[in-house]
Amino acid sequence: MLNLIPVIVSAQQTIKPSDKPLLLNAEQQRDIHDHIIESIRLQSMWMTLMAEPISEKRSRFFFEQILSNDWLSPAVRPAFDRMLTPHLSNLRTMFPQVEQQARKELERRQQTLPNTSWLELDESPAVVQPVSYPSPLTFKRFFTSAHAAPNRDPHLTLVDGPMGGAMHTGGGSMTQSSDKGSSTLSMTLDTLAVDNEHVGSDDGYGFGIDTEAKDKSVSGGGKFGMRIRAVVLSCPTAEGIVSGDAKLTVDLSSSVTEGGQTTISRKVESVTAQTEGQVTDEARLKEIRVDVTLVSEMTSRGGGLVNHATAVRAMVKAVLDPGGGILQMSAPTCTVSQGTHGISGVLGGDCLSMARKGVDIIAYLAKKAYGEAEEKWNKPDDQQNGNECVKLHFTPPTKTEEVAPGQSTDVKAEIRTVKSAQPTWGRLSEIEDYRGGHASPASVGTAPQTPAVFRFVAPSDLGDPNDPPGFYVNKGTSRAGRIKSKNLWQMAAPSLVLEFDSMIVGTVQYGKSHARAVVPLRYTRERGYVGQGPLYYETVPSLMAPCIVIVEGKGTTTFDVTAGLPQLRNGAVVDYGLFIRPGDTDEIARVTPCKGPPPPPVLTSFWSGLFNITRFGTFNWQLAGFPMNGWTIVNQGDVLATKIMTTNCGKLCKETTTMTLKRKSRSTAQPAGGGP
């Protein structure tokens, strides 16, 4: 077997406390050999139980295995059989009812305690005791106490380990009496609600059996606990690391009193590991590194037996493929203790076989948990927003970069983790055009310091500004997972400029007024194009004669575009529905000398009054502006459309107003501040 398992030298060097061969005499070697062979047999038994996919069958198999007494050492089996055999029928009859009680209670606790743990610490911070069910004992973490002397009665110390969520426990028990005595069966089922950051499972089984002969000649019981845990992070880090832990722990103890003598036996088998998965740039699990610790403890005493306590601890590192196959394994280092004496070093083939069995168990657990996590990070479209592992980040962000028709710009893209927003290594592909926009290349790699770069080309007709051209990135794989499909980048709706030029000549009040504005427009989702700018106006008398009203004045007021809703047909703009609201102008009206002294001049709003009076009936109070429809589409150079209006102001004036809608360019300038 050794030549099939490459040795990881670095891993071997880190295992303590010694890498020297153990120096054991023949009796010690035989004893340790028997212990390890028994441990391997038990590990195989536990692995068979663990592989049962249906939990009800698994608990039944576990229960039957306990009744079979195969887990006991040969020296204590006779006493256990005499205690248990008369009650086997009753125990098997009670099992379905007790299990049903336990499962109902487990379901109740899962519904009523979704986010809280029902465990609390007692006086020892390392020991966890159940609150609600002091009897039967609930097995939470099946580790032996580090301070328990080998010659004391065996007991269970329940050490709380890493928890990914709330622990729920269901318990049930039943007692039956017959002409042979009484028997009690108790059972607990544990499950840990894994939180959103982890996937996997953490389940436990606990059994208690107590029997007593009617004449009290023999009595005793057993306590049995099993915990199966495999939990990993649901998302890799930016470096492609997925950490987790796995364990299979079984703790069994029996105590039989017969003829005034008590025989005690106990076995603890635990295989625990810290795990670390490595993910490729294609979001596929490459390998799983495991750091495994095996502990096998057997204790028996009383009943005329020689007090005996042996513990073997093995430490080994291995590299697994995604299917759980062993790619590499270090030479295990074992520690052996008998009674209070401990020696450490490297055992021969026995230790290697024991370690290999332990790695097989961890491999079985790890491949299931990592398989579940890999499926999650590769199916982001099945996750709610925010629960996926990675997202695609564009620079510049979508709808922030303007691109002229037919022109191009560079768009950077990188895959970032959702949790820490860290860039990772990966590849983007399946690029799809959107509304005439086009991006290339079709596939490109990305890394933390070198994001992917796409060259985006805008179409000649930009179409609906509410839904501008762009491109999709439909596939992205990385060390930290896969991005959702349909990642859309869009150019910004083009900024526009409205050039407004109006000439009004009064026919009742004699003034000639010229008003001009250049208003930059930005696109908003709520109202389309909006903007504000200054309106410059200058009014001079249009006629000088006696006994007439002349108007003059100049200044600056406001000009608002309160909404701009382009109308489309077959994807092209056919009209620009702008709404405008010029501010009030301030001019002076006075009467030229006629007879006698003229009246004093008065303030008037000549240009704005005449402009507004013509359109007053069309004013849109909701959008707070005059509608300007009926544009002539030009689409030449920067000029998009023009609109010319002529009116007689209800015989009060002659108006000619020209509006030109352009794409914003660097050459666009405001009119001089001194006037039109």
Domain ranges of the chain: 2-379, 390-490, 496-663
Residue 25 is predicted with a pLDDT of: 66
pLDDT digits (tens, 9 = 90+) for 324-379: 999 999 988 888 776 545 555 445 567 888 888 899 999 999 999 999 999 999 99
Q: Give Cα 255 to chain centroid, integer Å.
A: 49
Q: Give pLDDT tens digits for 56-109.
A: 788 888 888 788 877 777 777 888 888 888 999 899 999 999 988 988 888 887
Give the pLDDT mean for 552-564: 96
Backbone angles phi, psi at 392, to 5 degrees: -95, 130
* pLDDT score of 41: 77
Tell me the residue type at 366.
A
What per-residue confidence (pLDDT) applies to 167?
66
Contacts of 573 (CB under 8 A, 6+ apart): 463, 464, 566, 567, 633, 640
How does DSSP classify residue 616?
Answer: G
Residue 428 above 60 pLDDT? yes
Residue 465 in tokens: 């500004």
- Per the listing, tokens 């054991």 go with 24
Residue 164 has pLDDT above 90, yes or no: no
pLDDT over 60 (residue 642): yes
pLDDT for residue 366: 94
Distance CA 111, CA 107 (A): 6
How far apart CA 210 and CA 182 sit, in angstroms, is 8
Q: Which of 68-72, 140-144, 438-442 has the highest mean pLDDT?
A: 438-442
Whether 136 has a pLDDT exceeding 90, the answer reads no
Q: Could you tell me how far CA 168 lies from the centroid of its own chain?
A: 24
CA atoms of 676 and 557, how far apart (whole Å): 12
Q: How would CATH label the architecture of 390-490? A: Sandwich (2.60)
* Contact indicator for 403, 456 with CB cutoff of 8 Å: yes
pLDDT at residue 23, as a whole number:
60
Q: Give Cα separations from 217 to 180, 220, 258, 261 (angstroms).
A: 11, 10, 6, 11
Q: What is the mean pLDDT of residues 614-641?
A: 92
Cβ within 8 Å of residue 458, ≥6 positions away: 403, 404, 405, 406, 407, 408, 436, 437, 469, 491
Classify 93 as helix, strand or coil: helix
Region class of 458: left (phi > 0), else alpha (psi between -120 and 50), else beta: beta
pLDDT digit string, tens, across residues 516-541: 999 999 988 889 899 999 999 999 99
Q: CA 387, CA 418: separation in Å to the nearest integer?
A: 8
pLDDT at residue 310, rounded to an integer? 77
How many residues in total does the chain contain? Answer: 676
Q: What is the C-alpha to C-alpha distance for residues 207 and 173, in angstroms, rounded to an integer?
A: 9
* pLDDT for position 51: 73
What type of residue sits at position 58?
A: R
What is the distance between the alpha carbons of residues 221 and 223, in angstroms, rounded to a whole number?
A: 7
As a whole number of angstroms, the distance between CA 244 and CA 256 comes to 40
By the 8 A CB rule, do 645 and 614 touch?
no
Residue 578 vs residues 487, 556, 562, 583: alpha-carbon distances, Å: 32, 22, 8, 16
Nearest alpha carbon to residue 599 among 588, 587, 585, 586: 588
Beta carbons within 8 Å of 73's beta carbon, 6+ residues apart:
38, 265, 267, 298, 300
Sign of torsion, CA 481 484 485 490? negative
Confidence of residue 16 (pLDDT cuts 50, 70, 90): very low
Q: For residue 56, give the H/E element and its range.
A: helix 55-67
Amino acid letter for position 300: S
DSSP per residue, 133-184: --SSPP-SSEE--TT--TTSPP--EE-----SS-EEEEEEEEEEEETTEEEE
Task: Specify the range with the lowest mean pLDDT, choosing from 20-24, 189-193, 597-601, 626-630.
Answer: 20-24
d(CA 667, CA 676): 18
What per-residue confidence (pLDDT) applies to 313? 87
Which pLDDT value is given to residue 307? 57
First-last CA distance in the chain:
96
Strands (E), 542-652: 549-569, 572-582, 587-591, 602-604, 626-628, 632-636, 639-647
285 within 8 A of 367, measured Cβ to Cβ: no
Chain Cα centroid distance, residue 597: 86
Structure token pair of residue 592: 């030229």
pTM to 2 decimal places: 0.73
Kindly state the tokens that stand for 392: 């695609």
pLDDT digits (tens, 9 = 90+) for 233-291: 999 999 999 999 999 998 888 888 888 888 888 888 899 999 999 999 999 999 999 99
C-alpha span between 251 and 354 (Å, rounded):
18
Higher pLDDT, 108 or 322: 322
Distances (CA, A) of 33 to 27, 30, 353, 428: 10, 5, 11, 56
Phi, psi of 121 (to 5 degrees): -85, 145
- pLDDT for 13 equals 32
Nearest Cα to 640, choosing from 492, 466, 496, 490?
Answer: 496
Q: What is the largest CA-CA distance in the chain?
A: 146
CA distance 238 to 279: 10
Amino acid making up residue 45 = M
**DSSP reduced 3-state for 238:** coil
Place of tokens 């200044």: 555
Sign of CA pseudo-dihedral 373, 379, 384, 390: positive
How far apart CA 520 and CA 529 sit, in angstroms, is: 9
